[in-house]
Amino acid sequence: MSFKVTVLGSSSAIPTSSRFTSAQIVNISERFFLIDCGEATQIQLRKFKIKFSKINHILISHLHPDHYLGIFGLMSSFALMGRKNPLHIYCFKELKELIDSQFKYYYGSLGYRVEYHFLNQDVSEEIYNDNILTIKTIPLKHRIPTSGFLITEKPKELNIKKDIISYYNLCIKDIIQIKRGFDFIKENGEIIKNSELTEPPISPKSFAYCSDTLYNESIIEIIKNVDLLYHEATFLLSEKDRAIETYHSTAFDAATIAKKANAKKLLIGHFSARYRTSDELLKEACAVFENTIAAEDGLVIEI
């Protein structure tokens, strides 16, 4: 099962010559989730060869323009491309007002249904559930209501050992039952223990997306032991006062959260345009949490 994160935008507030504003694509077994949709997101989707038709779910963390301005153009392009599938948008309710206002004078119907799922700032709650994954919110601390997202695979079935199927001449029904943990009963009544037939599955993987937020230890319990943590790192520690003033985090803050949450890997991003490169931000984070990488537009991470 594939689980990939593609960074489409890694700049904060305004795009730069090398970075667009916040957007990421999460692909889990060809289920595509767009998280945030900053300016020019659809250009990045084309550049990195991600099919528009694959995107049925858009998660918007909050209503600062660098996190949602691209949604209007993307939705318009969906319509012009003849989209028919429903589009699910997970957001705070004010975004619906902005979208309705934007398309009030649209030349015709979008041609597809838009289904809104409104977020609750006050609690962590499940907003998506299917047969392979769940998504729950992560309440963040910013100047306006803001939510992160925790995407977690569901536990996988057991793996049948090599040659077991042919050795016992298993039928489809037998295979399904064994993968679910049942023993195998031969025609003569002999019981073959499940542990002799199977191997443990690969552990479920998880990804936490923590966009704009002040340093906030209350999220640690929610994201504990996550495989990949994306945490904004807008400023260096030398700009801590500015970070607090704007309800943002430093690279040091992001690394501290990763360390306390026992994350496997940290991805920092949302860098202020004042920094020409991410080198110093990465250096600051790595001093606290070694397994840190810096977001770059186009970066693909396999979890």
Residues paired with 21 in a beta bridge: 11
The Cα 90–Cα 87 span in angstroms is 10
In this prediction, residue 177 carries a pLDDT of: 87
Average pLDDT over residues 106-128: 93
Give the H/E segment covering residue 283. helix 279-286
In the chain, % of residues over pLDDT 70: 99
Question: How high does pLDDT run on average in the chain?
Answer: 95
Asked if the model's pLDDT at residue 198 lies above 90, the reply is: no
DSSP string, 191-252: EEPHHHHEEPPPPPPEEEEE-S----GGGHHHHTT-SEEEEE--B-GGGHHHHHHHT--BHH
Average pLDDT over residues 252-280: 97
Asked if the model's pLDDT at residue 90 lies above 90, the reply is: yes
Please give the residue that has the higher pLDDT: either 138 or 155.
138
Please give the residue that has the higher pLDDT: either 256 or 203.
256
Asked if the model's pLDDT at residue 1 lies above 70, the reply is: no
Tokens representing residue 189 in the block: 């009544």
Q: Which residues are catalytic?
A: 66
Please give the residue that has the higher pLDDT: either 106 or 233.
233
The Cα 78–Cα 42 span in angstroms is 10
Residues 267-293, buried b or exposed e (16+ Cβ, 10 A)? bbbbbbeebeebeebbebbbebbeebb
In this prediction, residue 241 carries a pLDDT of: 98
Domains by residue range for the chain, with CATH: 3-156+202-302 (3.60.15.10), 159-199 (no CATH)
Please state which of the ranges 21-30, 44-53, 173-182, 199-208 shows the lowest mean pLDDT: 173-182
The pTM score is 0.90
The Cα 222–Cα 239 span in angstroms is 28
Asked if the model's pLDDT at residue 279 lies above 80, the reply is: yes
Average pLDDT over residues 66-88: 97
